[in-house]
Amino acid sequence: MMDALRVWRASSHLIGFASMAAAAAVPTASRTRFRFHQIRCCSSAAAAPAAATPAPATSDRRRRSPSSTSDRESVRAIRLKKVEELRSKGYEPYAYKWDRSNTAKELQDAYDHLASGEECKEVSVSISGRVIARRAFGKLAFLTLRDDSGTIQLYCEKESLTDDLFEQLKTFVDIGDILGASGSIKKTEKGELSVYVKYFKILTKSLLPLPDKYHGLNDVDKRYRQRYVDMIANPEVADVFRIRAKIVSEIRKTMESLGFIEVETPVLQGAAGGAEARPFVTYHNSLGRDLYLRIATELHLKRMLVGGLEKVYEIGRIFRNEGISTRHNPEFTTIEMYEAYSDYESMMTMAEEIVTRCALAVHGKLNIDYQGTKISLQRPWRRQSMHNLVKEATGVDFNEFGDNVEAAKEVAQGILRTKMEDKSDTLLGTCPSVGHVLNEVFETIIESTLIQPTFVLDYPIEISPLAKPHRRYTGLTERFELFICGREIANAFSELTDPIDQRSRFEEQIKQHNAKRAALTAESKSTEVQSGVDDYAYEVALDEDFVTSLEYGMPPASGMGLGIDRLVMLLTNSASIRDVIAFPVLKIQQ
Amino acid sequence: MAEGAEAAAEAIASLSTSDAPSKNALKKELKKKQKEEEKRKKEEENMKKKAAEAANPQSQKALAAADDEDMDPTQYYNNRLKVLSSSKEVGVNPYPHKFQVSMTIVEYVEKYGSLSDGEHLKEVEVSLAGRIMNKRASSLKLFFYDLHGSGAKVQVMADARDSDMDENEFSKYHAGVKRGDIVGITGYPGKSKRGELSIFPKKFIVLSPCLHMMPRQKAGPSVANASAKKNEERPTPYVWVPGMTRNPETYVLKDQETRYRQRYLDLMLNHEVRQIFRTRARIISYIRSFLDNLGFLEVETPMMNMIAGGAAAKPFVTHHNELNMKLYMRIAPELYLKELVVGGLDRVYEIGKQFRNEGIDLTHNPEFTTCEFYMAFADYNDLMAVTEQMLAGMVKELTGGYKIKYHANGVDKDPIEIDFTPPFRRIDMIEGLESMANLDIPKDLSSEAANKYLVDACAKFDVKCPPPQTTARLLDKLVGHFLEETCVNPTFIINHPEIMSPLAKWHRSKPGLTERFELFVNKHEVCNAYTELNDPVVQRERFAAQLKDRQSGDDEAMALDETFVTALEYGLPPTGGWGLGIDRLAMLFTDSQNIKEVLLFPAMKPQDEPSSKA
């Protein structure tokens, strides 16, 4: 409660300084972030006409945007009193149920044809929703009701209402209340389709004033922390979650149509494998042992291939104990899929299939806009090897370095210096192989330039511990990552099936991890810098059970992981991952 | 098809040329390998001779048995490793990149199952892949295999005359193929004279060798036969479907530790297991489409929370390093989902994992899957109707009827029948308890008198309630003893007291009670639902009462979530909320008495020794 109040106060101080409020709430806001806010403001303004009845400007505005906490408290006190009064009159201000015959949108669609002033006396409809606007005159009142589907006006006339309902409406109904209403249909003289109310009932009395659409919700932090307030103030926020559901559903449909079976593998594991990331640790009381939250679903899904399930997938939450940003939330959703007797070529087709089907389901077309950039998802997508992309951009062919890490580093430093001021030294310093150096150059120079969908192929073996060696190129693997708008969307490979090779790759991975940790610890001791060390302070264990499963024989297969949050960001034109996750993790409030 | 074969051939060709060693080295290796092969061949031939001597016309089986069964598992494994490394040394990758399959084994059986006995379609070319689960050598020029894949089986009749290898090569290659290997086969379809559908390979490639000796059924040569014998009333070949009984005691692989820890072996060897997880997937998919059709929106809420709310249970605790923040794994998604209803999403649901830091037993796993949905403007009466419709519909779709068989009293006793025909029975909790146990419980359940009355009642009926003996816990034990025991067919126990239900709305006509129901099937809770409490003032009071229970030692009482109460202050419409335990449901439909049967990787106690190599 206190948290909420504090936020409210913070935002109310900034009324009238919308853009400043946004900037102040996120001191570290990047330029894109800032731009995003303006977009939100625009869109909410654009959505306003849909809420047909303009808010009664003066009187209500005052009530809806209290300038201090005490105002808010007094609103609550007044409304609590109304709750008591209603009860004393025999009305329950928190009703049990309401049978609605139609949604607002259904009515808007069905009676769109009515002429202004026309009435359908014979029909009887009932609807329910939240009051978002209210204008009361002597014997007439207009309310705007919003439900899941849209808005509709309630036309309330004293004579048409039973008993003392009109008085009740004037005395007890506030903006924010949830109302059920029934009556006939009428289009007003001004052409506004309305329910001509015969009966209504307060279903839920709200105690707090609705946030002010134009000011209150520029407080970014509050938007995410109290998502419900955000959604009440900006109905289009809910559209993102509707589209998200549609995308996930489309992915499922695609997988099922291809004969894949959905499975669930454990979140809590004895050792977190399948990726390189810092895991969350927890403790199981009755087992008396530490457990790790999964950082990938890969190793368990591959066991299913060994078990004879030839096409499996899992859509689920992954957890990584890493920083938060516009692209990272500690928990995020992926789909991982594995298919026996296929290779990474077929996973490229799969990636194209999934993304285009989702785009068509959401937009009905393959040319989309993301944050002002035109993206074409027309197939086929560009395919280029990592080596060639780097060579194209820098003129350096990393094949020529052979195993000579030092030579590679020297050249890489030259390339990166222009781009990264002086951080390149530390980045490259810990690179144990030419493959790592190449990857560093790729990530720094190339990644952000891959705007149109691009499959980056054939990653170095040193940074791909679970991928099968390339059938033609020594030192490379049959692996690709898919980039759109400079972001990695998917990661896939022909799966490594050789248990002996797998074991030695794991051992190498652990060796590298420990070396990096040791190097950073030594460095921090000399420089007193603690950051960075922490990132590697966890243990990496070899998953013996997984290697054993490979020893029983895994069919040749390919697999892919695809980030669902990032796909939703792309297809909903959302700048931050926080816009596509209903309740993102936020810093603790001071 | 031709393309597939070519691709496979190509793959192998390119493999053998990539990073090729010098010619001399290659020759040497080849010689070495040949020698080894010859040695091995001799050994095998000796063994085969022995076996042939030992047995008579049944020599086929004896040969197969002699193939692996005599060897010590470690020696077997080491031998396999040696074969691997020697083939790598000569530049042959024992793990080819790709084999183009032209159809699944299921499709193959469907397509060619109707061939007449002895009919061969030599002009047709098919590529299949799968795991060899049985091998019989008839001679050095004729080998029989059982090829398993995608839940089906087909016989492989590898005749040297069909093969693209010469006879010598053929015998050598097939001598090296072991039970458990994953192979790719290109050949033509046909039926043996005895009417067994087979594939006759032209090409036969090991795609992934199995390095361990596969556990084998001692009683008979094939799993399907074995289980058919033990369940004589069942037609052969019998296919398990949801609602039928199962008996893991008859499985090829019985050892529970191995089955659960190395689920892939369980899936390979015990064919019903695949159907269990298929059933589980179908249950979830049914729920999804049922709710989608009612206009519900599927959402995802956080699994890591600052406060573990929405239920009463011990949470897992973890820590976010960079934010230096303590986080709890969710114990229920309830509060977040209701916040979304406040936000205007009138019908939402989430299917996902919940986590409870509790002991592991036959019905509890630390992580489990639930479905929760929230439906604005509906109450618990509506939800009972929805529940009946959903569950009865699901049973009908999965089994074809409304009744399922379940070994409620263990696999050695006769199974019971559970009838999901709607409507389900309803028992009013307090009234039911009073009439069943002949009690007259004081109406004010929050009073000391009520508490004392229930303590006495528990003592009288010898119903154990370990401390703290709060009224809610005492009632729970009595209800468990008197009412839940009677709930074999689906039964709603309804109208729980307020003190047991901090998030449910007070009953519109029965003071002290709430509008809540729990659905019990086979004496276990499957669903829990209520008209949601949406009065913020009352909600805050209920949380305060929970705090009191907490202070009196009930650490399963609920914690207060301010953000949630604030959400209620903005107004939650009248809403019905509903939760279902998916694992429990999966157990019922798969005749599983242990929750581990329906979880691919159940939580297991740590082992002292590394996992057995079966």
Q: What is the CATH number of the domain that holds A177?
A: 2.40.50.140
Q: Does some domain include residue A14?
A: no
Kindly list the residues from chain A whose CB atom is less than 8 angstroms away from the CB atom of residue B606.
270, 287, 289
Note the pLDDT of residue B270: 93
Residues B283 and B204 in one domain: no
Note the pLDDT of residue B4: 45
Kindly list the residues from chain A whose CB atom is less than 8 angstroms away from the CB atom of residue B104.
310
Kindly list the residues from chain B whose CB atom is less than 8 angstroms away from the CB atom of residue A268.
316, 355, 366-367, 603
pLDDT at A420 over 90: no
Which of A16-20, A69-73, A432-436 has the least mean pLDDT? Answer: A16-20
Does A477 or A164 have the greater pLDDT score?
A477
pLDDT at A54 over 80: no
Q: Does some domain include residue A540?
A: yes
**Of A179, A204, A229, the domain-final residue:** A204
Best residue in A94, A246, A494 for a mutation probing chain B (most B CBs within 10 Å): A94
Q: Does some domain include residue B65?
A: no
The letter for the amino acid at A198 is K
Q: Does some domain include residue B261?
A: no
Residues A244 and A359 in one domain: yes
Q: Does some domain include residue A427?
A: no
Is A177 in contact with B265 (Cβ distance < 8 A)? no
Cis peptide before B423 (omega within 30 of 0): yes
Q: What burial letters (b/e) apply to B277-299, b meaning 16+ CB within 10 Å? A: bbbbbbbbebbbebbeeeebbbb
CA distance A323 to A330: 7
Within 10 A of A252 (CB to CB), how many other CB atoms are there?
18
Cα atoms found within 13 Å of the Cα of residue A449, Cβ hemisphere only: 11
Q: Choose the closest CB to A588 out of B325, B566, B610.
A: B325
What's the CATH number where B412 sits? 3.30.930.10
The letter for the amino acid at A545 is D
Q: Which domain holds residue A367?
A: 238-381+452-579
Question: How sure is the predictor about A532, in pLDDT bands with cuts at 50, 70 and 90?
Answer: low
Residues B353 and B493 in one domain: yes
pLDDT at A17 over 60: no
Q: Does some domain include residue B614?
A: no
Residues B379 and B303 in one domain: yes
**Best CA proximity match to A484, nearest among A444, A445, A451:** A451
Residues A245 and A353 in one domain: yes
- Could you tell me which residues are beta bridge partners of residue A314? A336
**Best CA proximity match to A510, nearest among A492, A547, A474, A536:** A536
Is A308 in contact with B340 (Cβ distance < 8 A)? no
DSSP character string of A376-431: E-PSSPEEEEHHHHHHHHHS--GGGGTT-HHHHHHHHHHHHHHHHTTTHHHHHHT-
Kindly list the residues from chain A whose CB atom is less than 8 angstroms away from the CB atom of residue B351.
none
CA distance A291 to A285: 10
List the 201-240 stretch of A: residues with Cβ below 8 A of B: 203-208, 210, 225-232, 235, 237-238
Residues A179 and A276 in one domain: no
Q: Does some domain include residue A575?
A: yes
Question: How sure is the predictor about A162, in pLDDT bands with cuts at 50, 70 and 90?
Answer: confident
The letter for the amino acid at B340 is L
Residues A373 and A508 in one domain: yes
Q: Is A155 helix (H, G, I), strand (E, B) or coil?
A: strand
Kindly list the residues from chain A whose CB atom is less than 8 angstroms away from the CB atom of residue B96.
556
Residue pair B112/A324 in contact (Cβ under 8 Å)? The answer is no
Residue B262 in contact with partner chain A when CB distance is under 8 A = yes
Kindly list the residues from chain A whose CB atom is less than 8 angstroms away from the CB atom of residue B374.
none
Rg (CA), chain A: 29
Angle subtended at Cα A163 by Cα A157 and Cα A167, rounded to the nearest 5 degrees:
60
Task: Write the pLDDT tens digit of every residue in A180-239.
Answer: 999 999 999 999 999 999 999 999 999 998 877 544 556 677 788 888 988 988 888 999
- Could you tell me which residues are beta bridge partners of residue A331? A319
Residues B181 and B287 in one domain: no
Tell me which residues of chain B have a pLDDT lower than 70: 1-69, 217-238, 554-557, 607-614
Q: How far is CA B72 from CA B69, B75, B160, B212, B534, in A?
A: 8, 5, 31, 11, 67
CA distance B335 to A173: 26
**Best CA proximity match to A297, nearest among A280, A276, A314:** A314
Ramachandran region, residue B108 (left: φ > 0; alpha: ψ -120 to 50; beta: rest): alpha
Best residue in B78, B290, B377, B495 for a mutation probing chain A (most A CBs within 10 Å): B377
- Could you tell me which residues are beta bridge partners of residue A197? A183
- Looking at the 3D structure of chain A, how many domains does it have? 2
The backbone torsions φ and ψ at residue A481, rounded to the nearest 5 degrees and listed phi first, read -120, 145
What's the CATH number where A526 sits? 3.30.930.10
Which of A118-127, A514-523, B235-244, B550-559 has the least mean pLDDT? Answer: B550-559
The letter for the amino acid at A274 is G
Rounded to two decimals, what is the model's pTM?
0.85
pLDDT at A4 over 60: no
In A538-589, alpha helices (H): 544-551, 564-572
Residues A260 and A174 in one domain: no
Q: Is A529 helix (H, G, I), strand (E, B) or coil?
A: coil
Q: Does some domain include residue A485?
A: yes
Helices B73-89 and A499-527 cross at an angle (nearest 10°) of 80
Q: Is B154 helix (H, G, I), strand (E, B) or coil?
A: strand
Residues B288 and B178 in one domain: no
* Residue A41, H or E segment: helix A31-47
Residues B400 and B312 in one domain: yes
Q: Is B554 helix (H, G, I), strand (E, B) or coil?
A: coil
Residues A369 and A507 in one domain: yes
Note the pLDDT of residue A68: 56
- Looking at the 3D structure of chain B, how many domains does it have? 2
CA distance A243 to A249: 10
Average pLDDT, integer, range A313-334: 95
Q: Does some domain include residue B381?
A: yes
CA distance B565 to B558: 13
CA distance B64 to B546: 67
DSSP character string of B431-481: HHHHHHHT----S-TTSHHHHHHHHHHHHHTT---PSP--HHHHHHHHHHH
Residue A325 in contact with partner chain B when CB distance is under 8 A = no
Q: Report the number of secondary-structure helices (H) and strands (E) in chain B.
A: 18, 18
Note the pLDDT of residue B226: 41
Residues A339 and A484 in one domain: yes
Residues A298 and A372 in one domain: yes
- Could you tell me which residues are beta bridge partners of residue B53? none
Residues A327 and A370 in one domain: yes
Q: How far is CA A206 from CA A98, A519, B324, B537, in A?
A: 17, 58, 36, 11
- Could you tell me which residues are beta bridge partners of residue A282? A291
Residues B202 and B295 in one domain: no
Q: A117 vs chain B: nearest CA distance in angstroms?
A: 31
**Of A204, A223, A254, the domain-final residue:** A204
Is B262 in contact with A548 (Cβ distance < 8 A)? yes
Cα atoms found within 13 Å of the Cα of residue B326, Cβ hemisphere only: 5
Q: Does some domain include residue A408?
A: no
Mean pLDDT of chain A: 85
Average pLDDT, integer, range A426-454: 90
Residues A345 and A473 in one domain: yes
Residue appearing with tokens 């519909």? B393
**Best CA proximity match to A100, nearest among A124, A131, A132:** A124
Q: Does some domain include residue A459?
A: yes
pLDDT at A79 over 50: yes
Residues B530 and B398 in one domain: yes
The backbone torsions φ and ψ at residue A272, rounded to the nearest 5 degrees and listed phi first, read -95, 115
pLDDT at A23 over 50: no
Q: Does some domain include residue B429?
A: no
What token pair was written down for B310? 């929405």
Q: Is A195 helix (H, G, I), strand (E, B) or coil?
A: strand
Is B570 in contact with A128 (Cβ distance < 8 A)? no
**Best CA proximity match to A216, nearest among A71, A333, A355, A88:** A71
Does A429 or B270 have the greater pLDDT score?
B270
**Of B179, B208, B237, the domain-final residue:** B208
Kindly list the residues from chain A whose CB atom is less than 8 angstroms away from the CB atom of residue B360.
286-287
Q: Which domain holds residue B171?
A: 76-208
Note the pLDDT of residue B217: 59
Note the pLDDT of residue B43: 63
Residue pair A137/A119 in contact (Cβ under 8 Å)? The answer is no
**Of A181, A204, A227, the domain-final residue:** A204
Among positive and negative, which fits the CA dihedral A547, A553, A559, A564? negative
Interface pTM, i.e. ipTM: 0.85
Q: Choose the closest CB to B277 out of A94, A263, A588.
A: A263
Note the pLDDT of residue A528: 52
